[in-house]
Structure 1
């Protein structure tokens, strides 16, 4: 029987980064940014986040309900939604690939905005 020695040891092997190095869910920071854009008074009524992946990217899909209150809620709602898809959202380790207004509900003294967002890990 013949054996071959290639002349390299374990120290020469390429190591992959561990999965534990991945970033956490960017949803809490995204919610802070959405509330800051909406102004006061505003609240998050509902928010969910789930993993998302394509052949090349990993990220999370978010569904959020934002409530905007106050006497100027209509103007703030219009300002919030204006150019929403082109806003730069500073998220550490992630970027917002897509954000959209799915539906809006206007009441007598408030507005509720249903938003969808896709965040991608920034490698």
Structure 2
């Protein structure tokens, strides 16, 4: 088993950069994406990653989450399994996207 470390690179073909660009295009100009992080994730049957995006903006979280869930993400070799929005401090929030390898 390979242990995760912030110093080790993501798995080959990891869609984090592409997902960042797609998310920025989907959010438009009303929401700013700040720092993003990636955390490898696995279950008994799947391998993937948790992608966390710190955001600033004032869009309603529930409406935004429903819009992102309905989005058709084009990530070759990966599937978006879940999208969640967590409120943060002040006007900020975090978007978490779980991807699994196809």
Equivalent position to 1:32, from 2, 7, 21:
21
Runs of 4+ off more than 4 Å: none
Could you tell me the TM-score, scaled by structure 2's length? 0.72
- Judge which range, 41-50 or 112-121, deviates more: 41-50
CA shift for structure 1 position 31: 1.0
Could you tell me the TM-score, scaled by structure 1's length? 0.61
1:63-107 Cα deviation digits (max 9, x unpaired):
111234xxxxx4xx249605133322111111110011011555x
Unmatched runs of 5 consecutive residues or more in structure 1: 1-21, 69-73
CA RMSD of aligned residues (A): 2.3
> How far apart are the structure 1 equivalents of 2:65 and 2:49?
24
Aligned residue number for residue 55 of structure 1: 44
1:49-88 maps to which residues of 2 (within 5 A)?
A: 49-68=38-57, 74=58, 77-78=59-60, 81=64, 83=66, 84-88=68-72
Equivalent position to 2:92, from 112, 120, 123:
112
Q: 1:23–1:121: 8 Å Cα contact kept in structure 2?
A: no
Unmatched runs of 5 consecutive residues or more in structure 2: 1-10
